[in-house]
Each structure stands twice: as C-alpha cells, then as structure tokens.
Amino acid sequence: MATAPIDWRARAAELRFDGRAVIAGQRVAAQSGETFDCISPLDGRVLTSVARGRSADIDAAVASARAAFEDRRWSGQAPAARKKVLIRFAEKILAAGPELALLETLDMGKPIQYSMAVDVRSTANCIAWYGEAIDKVYDEIAPTAASALALITREPMGVIGAVVPWNYPMIMAAWKLGPALATGNSVVLKPSEKSPLTALRLAELALEAGLPEGVFNVVPGYGHEAGEALALHMDVDAIGFTGSTRVGRKMLEYAGRSNLKRVYNELGGKSAFVVFDDVGDVSRAAKTAAGSLFFNAGESCNAPSRVFVHAAIADEFTAIIQAEAPKYAPGDPLGGTAEIGALVDDTQMQTVLGYIAAGHSEGATLLTGGQRTMQATGGFYVEPTVFAGVNNSMKIAREEIFGPVMSVIRFETEAEAIAMANDSAYGLQASVWSDNINRAHRMARSLRAGTVHVNQYDEDDITVPFGGFKQSGNGRDKSLHAFDKYTELKTTWIRIDAR
Ligand code: NAD
C-alpha cells in the first residue's frame, strides 16, 4: 500500500524549538541571558531565539566535560558498552528523522527530501559505524627482545572541542562525535550560529540513548565569542574544526596562544574536475559535474567548482552543462521535489552574487543563471550559474564561492591540465575523466588532493578518509583513521626478568 506523502508544512507548523544550550545533561539558557535570532533562509523569518553562549558558558561546558572524563563515567566503560550506547543513539536519530530533517531544512535551507535521505541517514550511519568499530580495533605489541614487553596503546585525549559549519550541520558534527565519543572522550560542540538547532536536538537524543551527562555538551553562539573561547580554553585537549581556511588559521593561532592543543582543520576547497577528449561518455561527465556542483546549492566543501575540459570536446560539454544547469533551479525546500533550496542566509547570498559580478567584470562568459530568484518568498535563492571562457587566474577560479557557480576552463594538453588543476591553494578533491587507463592512473597520482575520483564524483562512504592537502586542512575525518585524531598513543615498557 502506498503511503501518503508527508505534509512538511503542516509538520513545520507543529515543530517546537528549544534554543537553550545542553551542558552537564541539562537544557540551560546562556549565563548572560542573551539570545540571538535564528533566521530561516526559506523566507527570512525568525524561527526561534537561541542561547548566545560566551566564555562563561564554554567554561561551564568544558568543566562538565572534564568532570565526566576524570570520573571515567564514559571513558571507563568497556568498548562493547560504549558501542551499545552509540548504536542506540543512531537508532534514536533515525527515529527522530523527520523532526531532525525539518529542523535542518528550516535552519539552513536544503531540500527536505535530502535532509531526510542524506543528512539524517549519514549522521545515524556515522555514529553507528564508530560504535560498531570500537570493540573491533586492537592495540599493538612491539617486536622487542624477550627481556621486555612494549605495549603501544591508544588512550582517549580528554576533552574535545568541536567547531562545525552550517552546510551539513548534523553530518559535520557526527564526523567529530563518532570517533571522539567511541574512543571515550568528552565533547563540547559549538555549532554554527547559522544552523544550531539540530546539534541541540542531537545532544538530547544522546542522553536518551544512555550517554552519561556531561559527556556531550552543546554551546551555541557566535564564532568570535563561543568558538574563540572554546579554541582558547586551557582545558580543551584538541579542536576538531570544520570550516573556512580563514578561521582554520585562527584555530592554529588560538592553540599557540593557549595550551598547544591539537588542531585538526578540515577546510575549504576549489576542487578540479578534469575531462579529457578520450572520455567515453561526454554526457555522463557533464551531467555528473553539474549534479555534483549544484547539489546542496554548491554549499559543499568538495564541490567541483573548477571544471577543466579538453578543447576538442569543450563546445559539446558546455552545451550539455548549459542544458543541465536549469534542472537545478531552486524551489520550495519543503515541497519535496526541488533539487536545490535556499542559500543559508542573506550574507552568503550576497557573497555568491558578488562572485557572479566578479565573473562578469573579469570577462568570463555567462552561459546560464546569474540572478537571485524567488524574491517573493523573502528567502535567499540564487539560480544555478555557469561561466565559460574562464581562466585559472580569475577570482571565480581561485576563491571558494560556496554557492551554485561553475567555472569552465579549457585546456589542450595533459601537462597543462595537471598544472592548472594543482595551481590552487586548496587540495580537497579532484576528478579525472578518461577512458585511457594509463592516463587515469597518471592523473590520479599527479593531482594534489585528498581524494581523487576517476570517471565519477559522487562515490563516498564512511569507510574512507575525507580531508585535504595544502590549505584544505590536515587530519582526516571518517574511516578508522579518524581515531588517530582523538587518541594519544602511549608506550608502556615492562621488564621481564630471566628465570
Ligand atoms: P566558518 O569558518 O565561517 O565557520 C565555521 C565554524 O567556525 C562556525 O561554527 C563558526 O561560528 C566558527 N567560527 C567562526 N569564526 C570563529 C573564530 N574566530 N573562532 C572560533 N570559531 C569561529 O565556515 P562556514 O562558513 O560555517 O562553513 C563554510 C566553510 O566550511 C567552507 O570553507 C567549506 O569549504 C568548509 N567545509 C569544509 C569541509 C571539509 O571537510 N573540509 C566540510 C564542510 C565545510
């Protein structure tokens, strides 16, 4: 029997918001009593008010996280016990899926069907995966002489500060929470001030799942207030940061000015998508470029925003892109059919429109899009936009736009493609399209990026590391490698006397 489609607007009208922080297992207002407005990009209206955390609130959250760590209420539990709680947490996320999806969509603008199918599911999967993994990883014994035993073990670090962006608010939080909690740490999470609502709900669900109080705290607030206080805190052992390269630099400074806490930066990108004239299916390449860039309205760190096309197929390729882009026209994020929704806020929309203006003034050719749209809603929507005739030194080819804007750049030779693709401050992801296996392997080795895709772009999984070369960051989220970020290695030498 077919189920009736969900009436998301009706559900949204019934939604209850609670913008208070979660500290030591309790919902609390900011100590100052201050709040900030949480505005929905769907229509520019205030959704609710949210606690404006500052250093006093961060101090309280870090103290609660530290107390939980020191009395070992979580870190002292057997891995199999932590596994059970994390799997229950993941089940609760799925059970609360429609509510979480609505909060995400109303708060940051993405289409509701993707909030459900991508954000809720990936978040639950990430938490469950690290829960599943933690009682299956072993420590090491070194190959020493018989007179000694050397154990190499991993210990949780202590208190982890997680600072995350607004483009995939729950998923980015889960990429920190999964490995940090599984390994026994306590966490203080500072969500983006542009999208704080789901993080607060996640903390409640974790408590319901049996995570002890104080192990996972959430302090909403502005970056220069709550975020800075967390990163400067003397009792935070590591910062797991995802966000812009500009703020990533500050994170390193804060660590230097405070306790030299570990800083793991997952930063911006300007990913190259390189299409050769020996690609078997030009249409598939072009459609994949469009789909991968315009997904999430281009607000993805790994969006392939620089598309390099061999001159011999450039006209054919750009004609397909030009026809494809309007299929990603923004629509009502609660309607259930729009491919892209609203940009996160007015500021981000003005930034994107500013880059479009720069594309015009630098002499790129606008193929499609380029305008704000759906103004009558009061929300922040921009058309999918494609520039051709771009060269790699233009501003739109060098800077991360973080919006639905593609730059198409022609090349003639493989060497030129490699040089231009690598001529970027960033190195998050790249893609190469060719039916020549030797060229595909050569390119995969030559491209300076944390992930290289061959003849595809969308493959992704919690089992593989995610992160970048160069100014795209250090450390890796996802996969078992993420355990490295939240554990200290300890060597224990034991003398064994001869009989
Ligand atoms: P942002 O750097 O402006 O903000 C990220 C977080 O840092 C927010 O919580 C913000 O409040 C906080 N912050 C801001 N200023 C701060 C300060 N002075 N001190 C401490 N914290 C501060 O980034 P954004 O606009 O929220 O997100 C977009 C960026 O995130 C893009 O550059 C994108 O590429 C990047 N990103 C990277 C990845 C990855 O895995 N590499 C994934 C998603 C997004």
* Phi and psi at residue 121, to the nearest 5°: -65, -45
Confidence (pLDDT) at 1:
59
Query: How many C-beta atoms lie closer than 10 Å to residue 260's C-beta?
Result: 8
**220 Cα to the center of ligand 1, angstroms:** 14
- The string of pLDDT tens digits covering residues 437-496 is 999 999 999 999 999 999 999 888 999 999 999 999 998 999 999 999 999 999 999 999
- The string of pLDDT tens digits covering residues 206-257 is 999 999 999 999 999 999 999 999 999 999 999 999 999 999 999 999 999 9
Using a 6 Å CB cutoff, which residues line ligand 1? 163-167, 172, 190, 192-193, 223-224, 227-228, 231, 242-244, 247, 250, 266-269, 301, 400, 402, 428, 466, 468, 472-473, 477
**244 Cα to the center of ligand 1, angstroms:** 4
- The string of pLDDT tens digits covering residues 188-210 is 999 999 999 999 999 999 999 99
Which is the closest atom of ligand 1 to the Cα of 468? 41
Find the helix packing angle between 197-208 and 169-182, rounded to 10°. 40
> What proportion of the chain, given as a percentage, has pLDDT over 90?
98
Q: In testing the pocket of ligand 1, which one of 247, 261, 271, 462 has its CB within 8 Å of the most ligand atoms?
A: 247
What is the rounded distance in angstroms from the CA atom of residue 307 to the CA atom of residue 318? 10
Query: Is 80 exceeded by the pLDDT of residue 3?
Result: no
Alpha-carbon distances of 251 from 56, 176, 257, rounded to whole Å: 20, 16, 10
What is the rounded distance in angstroms from the CA atom of residue 450 to the CA atom of residue 225? 31
pTM, full prediction: 0.98
**36 Cα to the center of ligand 1, angstroms:** 19
